[in-house]
Structure 1
Amino acid sequence: MEPATGADNVTSVKKTLSPIDKKMYIHSFIGLAIIVIFWFMSPIEPITPVGMKVVGAFLGMVYLWSTVGSLWPSLLGLTGIALSGYAGQGAIGFKSVFLNAFGADTVLLTLFAMVLFGAMDEAGCTKYIARWLLTRKIINGRPYAFMGVVWFTCFVISTLVSPITGLILMWPITLRIMDTMGVKRSDKIWPYFFVGMFAVMTLGQPLFPFTGAQLIVVSAFGNMTGVPADMTPVPYAPYMALNFISTMLLLAVYILVLKFIVRPDISKLKGVDADQLAREQALPPMVWPQVLMMIMIPIYIIMLLVPSFLDRSIPVVSFLATLGPLGVTVAWVVFFCLIRYQGREVLDFKVVAYRQFNWGIFFMIAAAVYGANALSNDATGIKDFLLNALNPILGGQSEMGFVAIMFTVALIITNFANNAAMAVVLMPVILAFCGQMGLDPMPVAMGVTMMVFVAMLTPAASPHAGMMHGRTDVYNTGEIMRLGFPICVVTLVYYIFIGYPLAKLLF
């Protein structure tokens, strides 16, 4: 046999590259090109030379987050910022970037919160929550009550763990129910039921500001506004109230439109029976560690909220304020690691971290929060540049006009790019123009935070949107666009005219 020539090797490599690989390399090249171009460009006044390199590193990172992944682009972006000299020259400045990025309490909170709530899912608690909600007798013979309970269950699972977990758990259950009831893929109610199921998951995803991708946004906002280290980035209670009230109102509107305007045939769902579902979804009795984890959820939330409501001169309140979200989370992790059941830790840290920990989110939070701080720092000149560049568009707007533009931009870009990253990009703009217009930036920023999670129209909108678009046995693209687009528009109108005034009232 003759040895392979160089041309043969090249041909072989080309054959082994799948279209997905080729696309990944193309996007990677574009991301690197963005960084390099800004590195060598002449500064655009009033951006400083260091600011140009920081912008390039951040924009390249955001592009790669949206097209390639989260992990190595985060490391690349931090490396670019470190080499820019933003934190100092040489090895000291380089180390400073990574130490501050990964040493931030937000990043550590992400680590322990993912393990704590991942342990709950690992123990099977989410299955019991879903079973309990789906077997309430209120659903008997009431199709719209049944659908409302299913959608609320999706909301709960999405907020406690993630929309991905919610989909993985709820798809098999709901498909089995539909099959039992004789509901077919061709029935009119089918797409409304399943698209609605996804919509409430993505709307409710950012409910808890101390975990998940939303932590990136609220932490970036807190750092940009100079929130003291002993305070939470945003007030938790008003934030959660804004999301919960808004999601429930939007869900109610969806049900009312379905019942009185669309009016699909729901006769097949009248046979839904809670007792039958209880038998079909039978689970063994809960053991005490599972009960303990269930009890932990409300206690954990109360522990986080207490310092915001009670006088910190009270010893217990002072102690909880000292712990903060990070300390409270670590305390619960230690507690569940300490207690044992059947010879094993209730929370096996290594096992739970292996199965539940999302390294992409972890690295992305470190890079996004640090990068956002760099963008808003006066040393880069980026805030002044944004004011000058966007003033013709945003400067002459009324308060509601400004809010409408920001929310609309957030909705559009989140359906084509990484949602948390897009919110972080918009934060300096919000802060700059709110300062210029004399507005409180908190309601605007929190409204944008909610809007960037309304991500469902394209597979690139979010990981769970990619899952939805990939389930061709449940959804097709036409149905997603036909129903998803009005849902997005109604959500936008709601947040402009109701959500934003509500946020002003709550905050």
Structure 2
Amino acid sequence: MSKEKNALQKGYTPIQYVHIAVTLLLMFGFGYLPPFSSLTPVGMKLLGAFLGVIYGYSTCEVIWPSLFAFIAFGLSGYPASMDAGIASMMGGSIVFQIITQYFTAGAIVIYGFGKWFVRWSLSQKIFKGKPLFYTWCFMFIFMWSGIVISQISMALLLYAIWGDIADSCGYEKDSTFRYYGFGGILLSLMMGGAMIPYKSWMLGLANTWKEVTGGNINLGFMFLVTGICGTIIITAYVFLGAKLFNVDFSTMEAFDVEKLGEESKHLRPRAKRIIVVYLITMLLAIFAGTFLTNPLSKFLNGTLTLGGLYCLCSAILMVIPSGEGDGKPAIVFNDIKHSDAAVSWPVIMMCAVTIPMATALTNEATGVLPWLTGIFAPIFEGKSPIFILVFTIVVMLILTNVGSNIAFGGAMIPVISPFVIASGMNPVLAGAALIWVANMGLILPGSSAPSSIFHGRSEIPDVKLRNKAVIFAALLIMVVTIVVFTVFQLFMG
């Protein structure tokens, strides 16, 4: 009898039933416990639904906990109805943006860009016999791209490319090389996106900090401090992480690029056209996020939106000719619809569930933020600047990894700022630390959109190895940020 038949006959193990039961009890039972502190009945139900879906993702799988989470969210009382709950999840702009970006980023890889990039980059003399240096350059260079390029679009592309590197070099599907690389990509892009708060919600936090403390966040100064942090952190991740994950780089070092075949020597015309349109789309997104007051930016941000922009990108590529004389468009939908590189339903479902649920937790109707304020405010009273700085970094890192970085970042400003001013600490440095760390939501799927995408990737199904990568990254962020910002505080104090 085959192993498959044996597995079918055995069914679920007892621990699997326990995990299922705990997931459902948290989702549908926790909310009926008596509310504590300032939490409301709605807050209890949302907290239970959130804890349940995270537990389900960590111990079971993605799809069925997501479906139950839709029901729990709709019944929580926070959305007006079940229909409103479903609409806010599946109808979210980030979910739609991810779907359309998947079409294009996935097609780039399906049509040969990944193998071409692997061949081209590994053929460079500077990387010959230096796989660890190659890995460092890969992550270090793309960290800086996160400053201007959307983390979501770049992450989808880089995950596909790293997967191609692993496949081309002959790494097994369960190889730690994949988890190590995917974790490094998430870390690099997240740090790059946090270095300068010049757009989106980070700009909002910077403006709020200025209004509360009178200390305008100096973008050049923050870029200097966070650039130092990012460089140290990504270097430590690459070299220490290689040992932590016991990565066998000899496989990459011994790889012969000729094994990729003749077709990998040149980019197909179809791939070139997809890349050009995709890059134009990203440049428009960067322009709209940087220069906010001109008519084009107002149209892109307020009318078309990023979701609409990437939708337009995919639509155009499914219309313009491929350039290969086959009478087909640049992207043929039938080529990509069954590929995980093009569309990953676990990622989509995870983003649809965790992002709105984490955001909802910090709504006034839940009572979560007053509870947190009551906990932390007494801790800061009468403390030194160094204590306030270190505690801000640690607490912000914890909070941003359990809920909405936007909401918790905004909530911590009125809690911390009075004590920063009273201690005589430089308010610009404290604000920079808070905004930088608020962006580092990578441990739980609901921490951020990039984190949801990472945890939902089918190429890295092992929860323990995924958690090992992001917890290691978070610890590096905490330690290095504390040391670097403390040094600057000592010199500036």
TM-score interval, normalised by the smaller of the two chains = 0.5 to 0.7
Once residues 240 and 123 of structure 1 are traced to their aligned partners in structure 2, the CA distance between those partners, rounded to angstroms, is 37
Quick one: which of 160, 167, 176 aligns to 1:165? 160
Contact 1:336 1:347 (8 Å CA) reproduced: yes
Quick one: which of 74, 97, 116 aligns to 2:85? 97
Pair 1:17 & 2:7 matched: no
Pair 1:54 & 2:46 matched: yes
Pair 1:331 & 2:312 matched: yes
Aligned positions of 1:350-499 closer than 5 A: 350-355=334-339, 356-391=342-377, 398-406=387-395, 409=398, 422-424=401-403, 429-438=408-417, 444=434, 446-450=436-440, 452=442, 462=455, 467=460, 489-498=475-484
Contact 2:159 2:182 (8 Å CA) reproduced: no
Pair 1:124 & 2:105 matched: no
Q: CA offset at residue 372 of structure 1?
A: 2.4
Query: Which letter does structure 2 place at the counterpart of 1:352?
Result: I
**Residues 222/257 of structure 1: CA separation in 2 closer, same or farther (3 Å cut):** closer
Q: 2:137 is matched with which residue?
A: 152
Q: CA offset at residue 462 of structure 1?
A: 4.7
Q: 2:64 is matched with which residue?
A: 72
Once residues 206 and 91 of structure 2 are traced to their aligned partners in structure 1, the CA distance between those partners, rounded to angstroms, is 19
Q: CA offset at residue 168 of structure 1?
A: 3.2
Query: Which letter does structure 2 place at the counterpart of 1:60?
Result: G
Quick one: which of 279, 283, 287 aligns to 2:268? 287
Contact 1:395 1:433 (8 Å CA) reproduced: no
**Residues 116/195 of structure 1: CA separation in 2 closer, same or farther (3 Å cut):** closer
Q: CA offset at residue 129 of structure 1?
A: 1.7
Q: CA offset at residue 486 of structure 1?
A: 7.8
Aligned length: 421
Once residues 39 and 428 of structure 1 are traced to their aligned partners in structure 2, the CA distance between those partners, rounded to angstroms, is 22
Once residues 335 and 84 of structure 1 are traced to their aligned partners in structure 2, the CA distance between those partners, rounded to angstroms, is 40
Q: 2:55 is matched with which residue?
A: 63
Q: CA offset at residue 445 of structure 1?
A: 5.4
Name structure 2 gaps, 5 residues minimum. 1-5, 144-152, 194-198, 209-218, 242-249, 418-426, 446-453, 489-493
Q: 1:344 is matched with which residue?
A: 328
Once residues 486 and 304 of structure 2 are traced to their aligned partners in structure 1, the CA distance between those partners, rounded to angstroms, is 32
Once residues 374 and 228 of structure 2 are traced to their aligned partners in structure 1, the CA distance between those partners, rounded to angstroms, is 37
Moved more, 31-40 or 163-172: 163-172
**Residues 26/392 of structure 1: CA separation in 2 closer, same or farther (3 Å cut):** farther
Once residues 394 and 245 of structure 1 are traced to their aligned partners in structure 2, the CA distance between those partners, rounded to angstroms, is 27
Contact 1:304 1:324 (8 Å CA) reproduced: no
Q: 1:298 is matched with which residue?
A: 279
Once residues 121 and 377 of structure 2 are traced to their aligned partners in structure 1, the CA distance between those partners, rounded to angstroms, is 50
Identity level (%): 18
Contact 2:114 2:160 (8 Å CA) reproduced: no
Q: CA offset at residue 121 of structure 1?
A: 1.6
Q: CA offset at residue 134 of structure 1?
A: 1.4
Contact 1:106 1:219 (8 Å CA) reproduced: no
**Residues 149/224 of structure 1: CA separation in 2 closer, same or farther (3 Å cut):** closer
Q: CA offset at residue 159 of structure 1?
A: 4.2
Q: CA offset at residue 253 of structure 1?
A: 5.4
Name the TM-score, length of structure 2 as normaliser.
0.67
Once residues 202 and 483 of structure 2 are traced to their aligned partners in structure 1, the CA distance between those partners, rounded to angstroms, is 23
Contact 2:43 2:366 (8 Å CA) reproduced: yes
Once residues 82 and 307 of structure 1 are traced to their aligned partners in structure 2, the CA distance between those partners, rounded to angstroms, is 34
Contact 1:203 1:453 (8 Å CA) reproduced: no
Moved more, 60-69 or 333-342: 60-69
Once residues 484 and 84 of structure 1 are traced to their aligned partners in structure 2, the CA distance between those partners, rounded to angstroms, is 30
**Residues 393/175 of structure 1: CA separation in 2 closer, same or farther (3 Å cut):** farther
Q: 1:310 is matched with which residue?
A: 291
Query: Which letter does structure 2 place at the counterpart of 1:362?
Result: I
Once residues 379 and 207 of structure 1 are traced to their aligned partners in structure 2, the CA distance between those partners, rounded to angstroms, is 32
Q: CA offset at residue 329 of structure 1?
A: 0.5
Contact 1:451 1:492 (8 Å CA) reproduced: no
Contact 2:393 2:434 (8 Å CA) reproduced: no
Query: Which letter does structure 1 place at the counterpart of 2:47?
Result: V
Query: Which letter does structure 1 place at the counterpart of 2:79?
Result: A
Q: What SS is found at the alignment partner of 1:340?
A: coil
Contact 2:53 2:65 (8 Å CA) reproduced: yes
Q: CA offset at residue 17 of structure 1?
A: 1.7
Q: CA offset at residue 446 of structure 1?
A: 4.6
Q: CA offset at residue 490 of structure 1?
A: 4.1
Contact 2:112 2:267 (8 Å CA) reproduced: no
Q: 1:417 is matched with which residue?
A: none
**Residues 310/162 of structure 1: CA separation in 2 closer, same or farther (3 Å cut):** closer
Name structure 1 gaps, 5 residues minimum. 1-11, 177-189, 210-217, 228-236, 259-267, 411-419, 456-460, 472-476, 503-507
Once residues 362 and 461 of structure 2 are traced to their aligned partners in structure 1, the CA distance between those partners, rounded to angstroms, is 36
Query: Which letter does structure 1 place at the counterpart of 2:373?
Result: L
Quick one: which of 320, 326, 332 aligns to 2:300? 320
Aligned positions of 1:134-145 closer than 5 A: 134-140=122-128, 143-144=129-130
Once residues 463 and 42 of structure 2 are traced to their aligned partners in structure 1, the CA distance between those partners, rounded to angstroms, is 42
Contact 1:27 1:64 (8 Å CA) reproduced: yes
Once residues 43 and 7 of structure 2 are traced to their aligned partners in structure 1, the CA distance between those partners, rounded to angstroms, is 40
Once residues 345 and 237 of structure 2 are traced to their aligned partners in structure 1, the CA distance between those partners, rounded to angstroms, is 35
Alpha-carbon displacement from aligned partner over 1:425-476 (angstroms, at most 9, x marks no partner): 6765544333211288785355254362699xxxxx95679949799xxxxx
Q: CA offset at residue 303 of structure 1?
A: 0.9
Contact 1:27 1:67 (8 Å CA) reproduced: yes
